[in-house]
Amino acid sequence: MLRVVLVYPEIPPNTGNIARTCAATQTELHLVEPLGFEISNRYLKRAGLDYWPFVKLQTHASWAAFEQVRQQQGGRSVSFSKSGTHSYLQFQFCEDDWLIFGSESSGLPPDILQDSSAVLRIPMAHEQVRSLNLSVSAAVGLFEARRQLALMT
């Protein structure tokens, strides 16, 4: 099963939108602390609307705590970054991949990128545009992985 991981997310509506996408696709959502907001934040709840009961949500106190869970469960850590070496469109996803996204302001730390099984980028047509919104990036990556794995039912 694919999983979405947000490392140090900062903006509640982005996380709420990603939670809604995860609920719709029955994808686990993992949040790695510290978070830039309270999990009970009203903006987070509002963005997720009334879908929160359908979100398979897990929070982790740190990257090390998350990594322990990931290693126990298995699967590749597939990170998304503007500095990615491969386009997400040229990558072959697997069912047990962990799709990892960094914070809105700084992305993923270098040590996480270095330890990733793959670092992917979402190509931008305009060279002055660094990246897409976090919730859009997560949806793009998740839906491409689902398309490849024929999970689009």
Amino acid at 103: S
pLDDT at 41 over 60: no
**Could you tell me where the DSSP H helices lie in the chain?**
12-25, 42-48, 63-73, 110-115, 134-148
Does the model's pTM come out above 0.75?
yes
132 or 108, higher pLDDT: 108
CA 50 to chain centre: 21
Amino acid at 90: Q
Amino acid at 77: S
Please indicate if the annotation marks 102 as binding a ligand: yes
Please indicate if the annotation marks 87 as binding a ligand: no
Please, what is the average pLDDT of the chain?
Answer: 91
- Domains of the chain plus CATH, in order, are 3-148 (3.40.1280.10)
Output the pLDDT for position 12: 86
